[in-house]
Amino acid sequence: MRFALIEDQAEERKRIDDMLSEFCRERMISFTTDVFTSGEEFLAAFVPMNYDVVFMDIYMDGMTGIEAAKQMRTQDSHSFLVFLTTSPEHMGDAFSTHAFDYLLKPILQDDFVKCLNDILKRLPKQEDSFS
């Protein structure tokens, strides 16, 4: 699996990356995570359909996560998009970008695992897809 993590706070980036690593190790899932500190940095490197899951912070300096997600969605409607934020007030805007989930910080391990398990259920099985 390939993940993108867009988060401007170093401590939060490490925490989410650690949870993601633990989840994949426990399930013996091969994965890579590309980490970005801003929406602009993510979009500059973005390749459509390159990520299975994009974890996007909403509050960042410069472009918000909602703005970055809208731009991403003009080229990629397939990646699972999960917003990470401290506030529930942007939920409507987030789901207008066809977000899969909206996790409130501090993100609880159980909520994170449930989200990823739900995504795994929806991903095509290896034998069901061509590369």
Residues 63/37, Cβ–Cβ less than 8 Å: no
**Segment 24-42, tens digit of pLDDT:** 999 999 999 999 999 999 9
Residue 128 lies in a domain: no
Mean pLDDT for all residues in the chain? 92
The number of folded domains in the chain is 1
Residue 119 domain flag? yes
Q: Is residue 39 part of a domain?
A: yes
| CATH code at position 116 | 3.40.50.2300
Is 103 within a domain? yes
| 129, part of any domain | no
Cα 81 to Cα 39: distance, rounded to the nearest angstrom: 13
Residue 129's pLDDT is 44
Q: Angle 10-26/109-122 helices, nearest 10 degrees?
A: 50
User: Is the predicted pLDDT of residue 128 greater than 50, yes or no?
Assistant: no
Domain, as residue range, for 34: 2-123
Residue 131 inside a domain? The answer is: no
